[in-house]
Structure 1
Amino acid sequence: MAGAVSRTGTAPLDRLKVFLQVHGSTSRGINLWSGLRGMVKEGGVVSLWRGNGINVLKIAPESAIKFMAYEQVSTFISSLKEGGSLRVQERFIAGSLAGATAQTIIYPLEVLKTRLTLRKTGQYSGLADCARQILKKEGVRAFYRGYLPNTLGIIPYAGIDLAVYEVCVCTCNVCVREQADPGVLVLLGCGTTSSTCGQLASYPLALIRTRMQAQATAEGKPKLTMAGQFKYIISHEGVQGLYRGITPNFLKVIPAVSISYVVYEHMKKALGVVN
């Protein structure tokens, strides 16, 4: 519930990020406001939430697989040692493997999310229609287009995100609270810091992944591999092109994490969950 409300609340910024990643290079004058205005003009205010349905739908399996894998890998690494907590590099490995495992299983949903996010009014009647059209026109392989940069990107993102988060929480507990139960504000700060660090490290690969996922929708553009996309961006847009759309991406970090933790705490109370 926390993830669903959080993603829904920041969906317009997420769609704007994807829009800038894919179309920003062809529209040099585009920015945050003109991008939002363009999307509203094309499909109305409700169009700002295109792709949010499947984004919410994949939260449960993605989160469950990621955290289950993280716990399993952490337990396995701990069993190889003679005791003591995991070091930073060990948390990084566990987080990276957990993220890669989750993304491998739910990746077709990522492709569908990108296509639904970028769709024009009337292009698809829904999730099933989108999947059917992709399968008919592009084949099964289209559901794993961009998988390599996605997997390479999830390694630094998930690794840094989970490792920095746990290090921040442990540090705050020792230096500030000296207890095992951090407060909401501490978790909020740790979550924001870890997410930002992870995104900075993996953003270029995430941008290349999105462009590969959306290649079939970009008329007149060549179908490029990961290396081809990287060379094309560097030669035509410069290094800054690898970070196109990062502004709305960062703008949604704090509200996304804030909404997530607030809803999380209220849902715990409503459901009677006790730590």
Structure 2
Amino acid sequence: MFQLLRGFVLPAAACDGNRDGDSRYANLFRKLDLNEDGRVDIAELQTGLRAMGIPLGKEAEEKIFKAGDTNQDGQLDFEEFMQYLKEHEKKMKLAFKSLDKNNDGKIEASEVVQSLKILGINISEKQAEKILQSIDADGTMTVDWNEWRDHFMFNPATDIEEIIRYWKHSTMSSRRKRKRLGSGGSSCWQEEWLVLSLEQVHGSKSNKMNIASGFKQMLKEGGVRSLWRGNGVNVVKIAPETAIKFWAYEQYKKILTREDGKLGTVERFVSGSLAGATAQTSIYPMEVLKTRLAVGKTGQYSGMFDCAKKILKREGPKAFYKGYIPNILGIIPYAGIDLAVYELLKSTWLEHYASSSANPGVFVLLGCGTVSSTCGQLASYPLALIRTRMQAQASVEGAPQLNMVGLFQRIVATEGLRGLYRGIAPNFMKVLPAVSISYVVYEKMKQNLGIA
């Protein structure tokens, strides 16, 4: 199919120069502009692509059209069409370079194997060769930039991760596909690509949304109620978790208090770390349920007990501790820093500014809680992110089930070091007020119970 596109629509003389590139775009535009009015609507795009042997499917074609129609008049003129293809080529160029490990201008089977291995997906070189055969137009068993560009010209891919997820799926089911496809393999590959490219999985393209677009997508997918999806479990778990954490913290402080009755910053940090680990271990299955309910689609689970029942039936008891190791590794610095910094700030304020009362007041407590929680979040957020993704990936059928190290390598490889802090802004918006208020309640309850 793509050999036909390359020879029939894209002239062999075309190269990467602007003039020849514009000529290629003009040839493509003429093939799609069926009524020759200088504009292409969605019906012409769908009909034209089918005529060229590229039936992507309605959703993919609409996705291309929506991205290209910048003035939103329901039609693509040549300038919009050309701009879309140029932007798309830039994205595909970045994907090509990320696979071309030795920078020789060609992708080889060994480079495909290496790239997938970085993301925790192991395939043989023979399987990688089959992947390249679908792109290789000249039979050299390598893919150059022109072949790569022509193959993905009208695919709704945006980054290398979507492409690799598609490859991963195709290698898993290649034997089944050969039986089903017969001679019509190319069209079905396009349809399967569409299904995979539209999936939204944590760690993929969907993670690149901002807070506003995240709210918009949630409202569109499940209405206002979706904004509180999983909150029932969150409320159920937060009471025992917080109670156990503060109770354990007081107990560990008593154990670690020196003979002279003093408690240093190190002892407070150790007490906080142990308290956080104790609390999280006690309620961790509810943490998993909260995440599954939050990332699940509308109607996927009827409630907390239905979610637990389905997880137990499909994945077994071990699923309730998915992500436990990175969670504990993350909670140790978080809880230790949070509680230690909080008490250090509070005691410092009382020592220097409290003259008539040992009660620092609500606003001081809120300020101490906010600063301490911020320090804890900055230190532990990457591990919390990996924990959440480990919990979420299990809910997506066909997604790679990576371990802690594999997920860390995947995030760094595809998103860079900044990817380890993706989503920290809304996390601060949620955690800072919650933790600060919990400290105020903690102090007031100690006073009321006579244990201050």
What is the TM-score of this pair, normalised by structure 1?
0.84
- The answer as to 2:216 corresponding to 1:37 is yes
Matched, 1:202 2:344: no
Q: Is the 8 A contact 1:150 1:205 kept in 2?
A: yes
Cα shift at 1:105? 1.1
1:69 and 1:198 map into 2 onto residues whose CA distance is 18
Q: Name the residue aligned to 2:264.
A: 87
1:222 aligns with 2:387: no
- Checking the alignment, whether the CA contact within 8 Å between 1:94 and 1:159 is kept in structure 2 is yes
Q: Aligned partners of 1:171, 1:218: CA distance in 2, in Å?
A: 48
- Secondary structure of the residue aligned to 1:115 is helix
Identify which of structures 1 and 2 has the higher relative contact order when contacts are C-alpha pairs closer than 8 Å and 6+ apart: 1
State the alpha-carbon separation in 2 of the partners of residues 273 and 122 from structure 1.
44
Does the 8 A contact of 1:22 with 1:210 survive in 2? Answer: no
Secondary structure of the 1:252 match is: helix
Report how far residue 174 of structure 1 moved.
1.1
- CA displacement at 1:124 relative to structure 2: 0.3
Q: Distance in 1 between matches of 2:436 and 2:322?
A: 32
Determine whether 1:23 maps to 2:199. Answer: no
Report the equivalent of 1:154. 331
User: Is this contact kept in 1: 2:374–2:432, CA < 8 A?
Assistant: no
Aligned residue for 1:59? 238
Contact 1:184 1:261 in 2 (8 A): no
**1:25 to partner: Cα distance:** 3.1
Q: Using a 3 Å threshold, how does the CA distance of structure 1 residues 22 and 98 change in structure 2: closer, same or farther?
A: farther
Distance 1:254 1:139 in 2: 35
Correspondent of 1:48 among 212, 221, 227: 227
Q: Deviations over 1:175-199 (max 9, x none)?
A: 1114421100100000000011000
Q: CA 1:93 to 1:128, structure 2 compared with 1: closer, same or farther past 3 Å?
A: same
Residue 351 of structure 2 is matched in structure 1 by: 174
Equivalent residue, structure 1, for 2:303:
126
2:154 — aligned with what? none
- In the TM superposition, what is the alpha-carbon distance from 1:216 to its structure 2 partner? 1.7
**What amino acid sits opposite 1:63 in the alignment?**
T
Which ranges of structure 1 fall in alignment gaps of 5 or more residues?
A: 1-20
> What one-letter code is carried by the residue in structure 1 that aligns with 2:335?
A
- Identity, in percent, stands at 66
Q: CA RMSD in A?
A: 2.2
Equivalent pair of 2:342/2:368 in contact (CA under 8 Å): yes
CA distance in 2, matches of 1:251, 1:63: 19
Question: What amino acid is the match of 1:52?
Answer: N
What is the match of residue 341 of structure 2?
Answer: 164
User: Residue 252 of structure 1: CA displacement?
Assistant: 2.8
Instruction: Rate the CA distance shift 1:273–1:95 in 2: closer, same or farther, 3 A.
Output: closer
Q: In structure 1, what residue type is equivalent to 2:239?
A: A
Cα distance per residue 1:85-113 (max 9 Å; x no partner)? 21101100000001101111110000000
* In 1, Cα distance between equivalents of 2:394 and 2:296: 11
Q: Would the alpha carbon gap of residues 64 and 28 (structure 1) be closer, same or farther in structure 2, given more than 3 Å must change? A: closer
Question: Distance between the aligned counterparts of 1:97 and 1:151, measured in 2?
Answer: 10
Question: Which shows bigger deviation, 247-256 or 65-74?
Answer: 247-256
Q: Deviations over 1:17-74 (max 9, x none)?
A: xxxx963632365111111000001111121011111111012211121112111111
Please identify the structure whose Cα radius of gyration is greater. 2
Q: 1:187 aligns with which of 350, 365, 369?
A: 365
CA 106–247 in structure 1, closer or farther in 2 if over 3 Å, else same: same
2:411 counterpart residue number: 233
Q: Could you tell me how far 1:259 is from its partner in structure 2?
A: 5.4
Q: Give the letter for the 1:127 counterpart.
A: M
**Contact in 2 for aligned 1:25/1:237 (Cα 8 Å):** no
| Contact persistence 1:50–1:116 (CA under 8 A) | yes
> In the aligned structure 2, how far is the partner of 1:258 from the partner of 1:162?
11
Query: Hey, what's the Cα distance between the residues in 2 that align with 1:261 and 1:47?
Result: 29
CA distance in 2, matches of 1:257, 1:73: 20
Distance of aligned partners of 1:242 and 1:63 in 2 relative to their CA distance in 1, 3 Å threshold: same
Q: Report the secondary structure of 2:394's partner residue.
A: helix
- Matched residues in 2 for 1:180 and 1:71: separation? 19
Q: Structure 2 stretches of 5 or more lacking a match?
A: 1-199
Report the residue type matching 1:69 in the other structure.
Answer: A
Which deviates more, 28-37 or 183-192?
Answer: 28-37
Q: 1:257 and 1:148, CA in 2 relative to 1: closer, same or farther beyond 3 A?
A: closer
Partner of 1:75: 254
Question: TM-score by structure 2 length?
Answer: 0.52
Q: Which moved more, 1:118-127 or 1:216-225?
A: 216-225
Residue 137 (str. 1) matches residue 327 (str. 2): no
Deviation at 1:228, TM superposition (A): 0.6
